[in-house]
């Protein structure tokens, strides 16, 4: 089979079709949540797919509430490659957070990420790594949207439409970071460990490829086609709640830089005109003088803006202060802004003869930059003492968490290039 044809068709026998030049070691990270019915079959298919010359260790990072960790331990002994499980008591970051935990413990040349439900065909694992070594790519994505790929296993026209819409949305929001990636929603990919900075990753939900591509910016990207399979066992974890987390994740990624945050802050502030001006109209038409009405109506805009800013712009910084502290500081700044805005409004009304509503809108725009800088600096930047406290807390947590990390490794001989303890680590 020619090289071109080999890349257009899913291999039947990975041992025969995978490149013979694979030299890098691999950690295969499988995030799991109640996937006990899939574990044995997944490991069996991996055993058939992984060639002897590809040193590979499998790490399950588990957030399950069922017996999945015990099933993994039992199945691990029957395979010639190391199999480990890290069970997290707190599923921080969802399935994407589980992948990041796996990345932190991986010291191999390559990391391959795939789901446990067998919708990602295990026989493509060596092909993903082989394509990366052949092309020199840092990231190799298994794509449903290139020649030879298919989303056949994605049940229902609704899910297909949602998947396609999410793909268009993400590529529209991140055209440069996702250049060369036809399927940014894929959960099946290989990445060089040297190209990943785990500390920079802040996932929310299960779209970890998007997080990696946007925050780590791999230099070269390659793709191989794959046919999305039907789930082997269990139920899909895709829910409306995950959809909302995905949208929040997009907003967080898009607002990662100060200019982007300022634009987002401005758009949110602009949307706050609606509750602010609506309340002002109601109060002034009820007979209240416009100056005290400004103070009361401002609280509706303050509440609206705070909720959206917390959710969309500064989700990653909320841990630095207690929520009550953040609310108090935000409200104080927003209302202190009135000290500047009300004199401006009074000047616009009395001196220039403007109506109250347009004068209020102009004053809000005038003080925009000052409000953004003060909010970021005084509400969401870490306190000076938090770094020391966080270090102490992390050390204490790591010490206590060691007992919650369960590791299961096969008794069969392992490849010398892959540590037999691969994946044994604690949450930080």
Strands 56-62 and 26-32: parallel
Q: What is the pLDDT along the chain (428 residues), one digit of tens a residue?
A: 333 333 333 333 334 344 445 567 999 999 999 898 999 999 999 999 988 878 899 999 999 999 999 999 998 888 888 999 999 988 888 888 899 999 998 989 999 999 998 999 999 999 999 999 999 999 999 999 999 988 776 655 666 777 788 888 888 888 888 888 999 989 999 999 999 988 888 877 678 898 888 888 898 999 999 998 888 776 666 666 767 777 777 777 776 677 777 777 778 877 888 888 889 999 999 989 888 888 888 888 888 888 888 877 787 777 778 888 888 888 888 777 777 888 888 998 998 899 998 998 888 778 777 778 788 788 887 665 444 444 444 444 443 333 344 444 443 334 334 433 333 333 33
Query: Are 63 and 91 contacting, i.e. CB atoms less than 8 angstroms apart?
Result: yes
CA atoms of 185 and 154, how far apart (whole Å): 13
Class of domain 3-254: alpha beta
- Sorted by sequence, the CB contacts under 8 Å of residue 405 that are 6+ apart come out as 86, 87, 424, 425, 426, 427
CA atoms of 282 and 348, how far apart (whole Å): 21
Residues of the chain with CATH 3.90.550.10: 3-254
Question: How many beta carbons lie within 10 A of that of residue 40, not counting itself?
Answer: 15
Q: Please give the model's pTM, rounded to 2 decimal places.
A: 0.62
Query: Among candidates 42, 56, 213, 61, which has minimal Cα distance to 139?
Result: 213
Bridge partners of residue 143, in order along the sequence: 225
B/e letters for 213-245, b = 16+ CB within 10 Å, e = fewer, are bbbbebeebbbbbbbbeebeebeeeeeeebeeb
Question: How many beta carbons lie within 10 A of that of residue 137, not counting itself?
Answer: 22
CA atoms of 30 and 113, how far apart (whole Å): 6
Vertex 186: Cα angle to 48 and 182 (nearest 5) = 115
Which segments within 282-398 are labelled E, that is strand?
Answer: none
Strands 139-143 and 189-192: antiparallel
CA atoms of 208 and 362, how far apart (whole Å): 42
């Amino acid at each position: 089979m020619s090289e071109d044809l080999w890349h257009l068709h899913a291999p039947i026998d990975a041992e025969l079709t995978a490149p013979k030049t694979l030299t890098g070691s691999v950690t295969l990270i499988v995030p799991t949540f109640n996937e006990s019915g899939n574990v044995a079959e997944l490991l069996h298919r991996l055993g058939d797919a992984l060639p002897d010359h590809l040193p590979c260790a499998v790490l399950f990072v588990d957030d399950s509430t069922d017996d999945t960790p015990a099933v993994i331990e039992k199945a691990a002994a029957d395979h010639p490659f190391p199999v480990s499980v890290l069970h997290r008591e707190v599923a921080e970051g969802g399935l994407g957070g589980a992948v990041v935990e796996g990345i932190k413990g991986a010291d191999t040349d390559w990391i391959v990420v795939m789901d446990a439900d067998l919708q990602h065909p295990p026989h493509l694992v060596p092909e993903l790594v082989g394509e990366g070594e052949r092309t020199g790519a840092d990231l190799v994505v298994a794509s449903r949207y290139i020649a030879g790929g298919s989303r056949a296993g994605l049940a229902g026209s609704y899910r297909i439409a949602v998947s396609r819409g999410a793909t268009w949305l993400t590529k529209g929001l991140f055209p440069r970071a996702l250049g060369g990636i036809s399927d940014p929603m894929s959960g099946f990919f290989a990445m060089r460990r040297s190209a990943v900075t785990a500390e920079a990753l802040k996932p929310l939900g299960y779209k970890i490829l998007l997080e990696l591509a946007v925050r780590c910016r791999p230099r070269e990207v390659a793709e191989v086609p794959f046919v999305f399979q039907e789930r082997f066992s269990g139920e899909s974890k895709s829910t409306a709640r995950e959809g909302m987390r995905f949208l929040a994740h997009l907003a967080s990624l898009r607002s990662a830089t100060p200019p982007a945050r300022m634009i987002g802050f401005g758009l949110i502030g602009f949307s706050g005109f609606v509750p602010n001006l609506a309340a002002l109209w109601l109060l002034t038409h009820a007979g209240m003088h416009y100056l005290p009405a400004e103070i009361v109506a401002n609280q509706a805009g303050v509440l609206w803006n705070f909720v959206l800013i917390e959710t969309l712009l500064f989700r990653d910084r909320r841990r630095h202060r207690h929520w009550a502290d953040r609310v108090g500081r935000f409200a104080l700044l927003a209302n202190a802004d009135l000290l500047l805005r009300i004199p401006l409004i009074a000047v616009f009304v009395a001196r220039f003869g403007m109506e109250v509503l347009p004068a209020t809108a102009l004053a809000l725009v005038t003080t925009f930059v000052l409000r953004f800088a003060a909010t970021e600096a005084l509400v969401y930047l870490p306190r000076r003492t938090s770094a020391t406290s966080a270090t102490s807390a992390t050390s204490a947590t790591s010490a206590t968490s060691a007992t919650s990390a369960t590791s299961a490794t096969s008794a069969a001989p392992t490849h010398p290039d892959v540590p037999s303890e691969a994946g044994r680590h604690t949450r930080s």
